[in-house]
Chains A and B, each alone.
Chain A
Amino acid sequence: MKKFLLLGLMMGILVSSAFAVPYYDKGNQMFSFTIGTSFPTFTYFFDSNEIRSGLGEGNTGGKVGGYGAISYQVFNSQNSAIGGEIGYDFNFSASNMLFTAVPFYAKYSLFPVQGQVDLPISFGLGGAYIKYNDASLMTLFGNVQVGLTWYPGDNWGFGLTTGLWLIPEFNYKEELRADNALAGFIPLTLSITYRQ
């Protein structure tokens, strides 16, 4: 049943995309403020081939956190935009210590549905400064996100976005290599967007 729903959704997007009149032109711009939550979803340790999923003790160890960001994008065609985003994420661990991440990344978005309602599908790649207890490092950051933005007027829109963030941790110190890992987070955010 889920497969049919997903297929239907994809078909709907493709049909809308194929027959829709493009709303945006090359050079249009978007500026967004984002705020919401993030869910630590999994942590995969390469060395032991161990995966921990879910919230809290015995799993990822992380709790539901918060995320805020600003982003800017400019359309390079009628259906796609390029830009960047910088944000701040925090999650408390099971022992109530604070994990923070400051992702900054380039963003490429496709707009198969656009107009009064936008459906952006975004891909991001960049870096993140992450910190927890006595550990901190600059690392890579990648994400894929899908959103839905409603514009009651011409310029201002309100959106809901989710997706998957991937944050790898590569340690070059010999004694920390066994802890090399890939962490996944699912964000769920609200945004307000100004477009022109």
Chain B
Amino acid sequence: MRTNHKYIKIFSVLAIIAAITGCNADASAGLFRQISESTTPVGIRYRQILGISSPDIYFTTTEGIYKTDTNTSTQIKANTDVSLNRAAYLDSTNSRVLFLINNSDPDISNSIVKGVSIVSPYTKYPNLAPTYAALDSVTIHNLYTNGLFLLQGTDPANSNAKTFVLATYDDTVPASPVFTKKISFNEIDNLLSGYSLESVLQATGKETVAIGTQPVIVSFVNEAGNYKHFITDGATSYTITLNTRLANFAIINSKLYILTIDGKLYHAGATPVGAAIDLGSATPLLDITKVYDVNAFMYGVYDSGTSTNYIITKSNSKNDPLYVVSFTNGATTATGKSIRYGYGEYLDSAEIVSTYEKAANDLLVATAENGMFDITIIPASMNDDSTSNGTSSVSEDYTL
């Protein structure tokens, strides 16, 4: 009996200790690590990098649209309560920035297209009212930094089917601006009945590159949580079968890699894509066991010297360091590693909101609260968690 009591006491103590220690199951990094690596906001809340029109880089913040040559910054359009730009596109050819604002009537989901000259005195255009004759009940949902507008309407020529269109803005006839279709997704032709648009994914660093050069992935979801994805170069589109939400994709050495929001990385074949991709029963290269946002930071680097592919990722946790996945050509599995030094020195405590590839392995990285960084990656040593893997400027000390 005494022995039983002894075991009960020991068991009780162990149970209490187990109950009050652990387990931090959902964390992307240790709690005190996250706090110790937190950084002071710089006061600039970036939203999008729009691109470079020499000698300036254009970007949006919560305050408006700006340009800078890194010495002098100019606000070319201020955000106000009635003119808050949601998305913008630098149209260098026409020396302007096009942007969307919400309709002043909250019951109308259609956005309004506006514009501002990038030449002093930065004249604002009146409301632009481009039309798209091929659809009825057209609403403008979004504008991407590659110049594509996302439209939704019904197609009278196809049983009034719900249709999504990626289109460019064309005001060759200034008095009658129109949208010109690049590609469309129709609920009948693309078997999207009951589906809504979920996301348009753009490869990290290449968000401003035209769709003909840099494809995008368009995803749809229905109420049951089923996903359909299409990769498109603006001329054709191919289905990607993978019934889960995608975080982003990268193309390395003419191969497509897809990352899901639950951290599974898939090899999806060669690019340019020429046929439907079925990943329904594919085994991921790696399960990163991190959670990613849609349009997550996912940048591919190829080291030709060792035939090694690297994919730099950043999870949805602001205080999680960059995580690099590496694998050789043809490998079926990959390994991962956190990078806190070198090019990753300042990004382990920042929320990345936009990127711009100045040159291969040289990126501008804009963050929500910590400013903009200029990172340079050395492929041969990029997986070393040390200063030998590349460099990062301090906040706001970037060059063009």
Partners in one complex: yes
Residues of A within 8 A of B (CB): 40, 43, 45, 52, 56-57, 59-62, 93-97, 99, 126-127, 130-140, 169-173, 175-176, 178-181, 183
**Is B29 positioned at the interface, with any CB of A under 8 Å from its CB?**
yes
Within the complex, the shortest CB–CB distance from A104 to chain B, in Å, comes to 9
Q: Is B30 touching A135 in the complex (CB atoms < 8 A)?
A: yes
Q: Is B38 touching A93 in the complex (CB atoms < 8 A)?
A: yes
A176 CA / B28 CA spacing, docked (Å) = 8
Please name all residues of chain B whose beta carbon is closer than 8 Å to the beta carbon of A170 when the two chains form the complex.
21-22
The answer to whether A61 and B27 touch (CB under 8 A), given A95-B349, A139-B20, A169-B32, is no
**Is B23 positioned at the interface, with any CB of A under 8 Å from its CB?**
yes
Q: Is A43 touching B32 in the complex (CB atoms < 8 A)?
A: yes
- In the complex, per-residue mask of B25-53: 1 if CB is within 8 Å of any chain A CB, else 0: 11111111111111111000000000000
Q: Which of A40, A57, A140, A175 contacts B21 (CB 8 A)?
A: A140
Q: Which of A52, A94, A135 contacts B29 (CB 8 A)?
A: A135
**25 pairs, CB–CB < 8 Å, chain A vs chain B:** A45-B32, A52-B36, A56-B40, A59-B36, A95-B41, A95-B319, A95-B369, A127-B20, A130-B31, A131-B31, A133-B27, A134-B26, A135-B29, A136-B31, A137-B31, A139-B21, A169-B31, A171-B23, A171-B24, A171-B27, A172-B22, A172-B23, A175-B289, A176-B30, A179-B33
The secondary structure that dominates the B interface is loop
A40 CA / B22 CA spacing, docked (Å) = 21
Other contacts beyond A176-B24, A183-B32: 4, CB < 8 A: A59-B36, A93-B35, A94-B39, A179-B29
The closest CB in chain A to the CB of B317 belongs to: A134
The closest CB in chain B to the CB of A40 belongs to: B35
Please name all residues of chain B whose beta carbon is closer than 8 Å to the beta carbon of A133 when the two chains form the complex.
27, 31, 34, 317-319
**Is B282 positioned at the interface, with any CB of A under 8 Å from its CB?**
no
**Is B19 positioned at the interface, with any CB of A under 8 Å from its CB?**
yes
Within the complex, the shortest CB–CB distance from A142 to chain B, in Å, comes to 12
Within the complex, the shortest CB–CB distance from B262 to chain A, in Å, comes to 14
- In the complex, per-residue mask of B3-33: 1 if CB is within 8 Å of any chain A CB, else 0: 0000000000000000111111111111111
Within the complex, the shortest CB–CB distance from A89 to chain B, in Å, comes to 13
Q: Is A181 touching B33 in the complex (CB atoms < 8 A)?
A: yes
